Amino acid sequence: MLPTLKGRWLTRILLFLWIGVPITFIFSLLVAGPRSPSLPFAGWHYDILPFQILSLLLLVGLILDPVYIYFQQFRWERDWPFAFQFFFSIVEFVIVLALVWWGVLDFTRPASQLHTSENYLLFTIHFACVFIPSFTALLGFVQIFMIRWRFKGGEWGRM
């Protein structure tokens, strides 16, 4: 990948909107739902916790992007290998987990409902569900729809 800073940000937002949000929506319906059947949503409960995690992921990513760009300056090719992208996506998720652990989401619900090992497992499954298609999209599927994207360092729009 040959990203610019703006390209990193815009690509992140693009993947958030087109992959992260729909998948999280479905994920929340399928997985988070049955655990609290007391509230009705066609018999399912809808929990926004996965959305909170997804938003945290986006936020952490947006903040780290300038750091990546800084280090990219030292690479002669000024590129960002897919392997780096892969690795740092996981790092970002670990940071999110740590933030949750430290309590950044504690204001949203009682700690007993948040810090359960079951939840942390769900976060991981959720992350995998979002990350795998997002990363695959970067490998080529975005280009199918946005032919100019690869020449614009990841920014959308026309030339």
Q: Coil, strand, or helix at residue 23?
A: helix
DSSP string, 106-154: GGGS-HHHHS-HHHHHHHHHHHHHHHHHHHHIIIIIHHHH-TTGGGTTT
**What is the spatial distance between Cα 156 and Cα 151, in angstroms, rounded to a whole number?**
10
* Least spacing, CB of residue 159 vs other proteins, in Å: 5
Is 157 an interacting residue with respect to other proteins (CB under 8 A)?
A: no
Phi, psi of 25 (to 5 degrees): -60, -50
Q: Smaller CB distance to other proteins: residue 74 or 102?
A: 74
Find out whether 13 and 149 touch, Cβ atoms under 8 Å.
no
The residue range among 56-64, 93-101, 125-133, 144-152 that interacts with other proteins, by the rule CB under 8 A, is 144-152
Minimum distance of other proteins from residue 49's CB (angstroms): 32
Query: Is residue 90 within the footprint of other proteins (CB under 8 A)?
Result: no
When binding is defined by CB under 8 A, the residue of 82, 101, 125, 136 that contacts other proteins is 82
CA angle 113/116/117 to nearest 5° reads 160
Among 86, 94, 108, 128, binds other proteins (CB under 8 A): 86
**Residue 26 CB, nearest approach to other proteins (Å):** 22
CA 127, distance to chain mean position in Å, is: 7
Q: Which of residues 18-77 bind other proteins (CB under 8 A)?
A: 72-77
Chain contacts with other proteins (rule: CB under 8 A): 1-4, 7, 72-79, 81-84, 86, 140-141, 143-148, 150-153, 158-159
